[in-house]
């Protein structure tokens, strides 16, 4: 096997493994709450009003994954 092909195969497998590890760490309901948490983090990046605007998405995440 060529070194480049080996490297590409390793990267594909490691990406899948890392994604599986991340999803298993989140647990069942954590996976469903992920979109709420990502939206909340994005809103909190907005200066001045971000934290206030993120309250509904924080509540969404807490309801799904207490």
Measured CA distances, 8 to 3, 15, 17, 21, 61 (Å): 9, 11, 14, 20, 36
pLDDT tens by residue, 22-47: 666 656 676 777 788 888 888 888 88
**What pLDDT, on a 0 to 100 scale, did the predictor assign at position 33?**
78
11 confidence band (pLDDT: 50, 70, 90): low
- Average pLDDT of the residues in 40-55: 87
Cα 1 off chain centre by: 34
Distance CA 21, CA 15 (A): 10
> What DSSP string describes 14-52?
HHHHHHHHHHHHHHHHHHHHHHHHHHHHHHHTSTTTHHH
């Amino acid at each position: 096997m060529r070194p480049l092909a080996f490297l590409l195969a390793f990267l594909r497998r490691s990406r899948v493994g890392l994604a599986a590890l991340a999803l298993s760490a989140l647990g069942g309901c954590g996976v469903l709450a992920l979109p709420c948490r990502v939206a909340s983090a994005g809103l909190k990046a907005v200066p001045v009003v971000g934290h206030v605007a993120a309250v509904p998405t924080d509540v969404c995440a807490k309801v799904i994954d207490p």
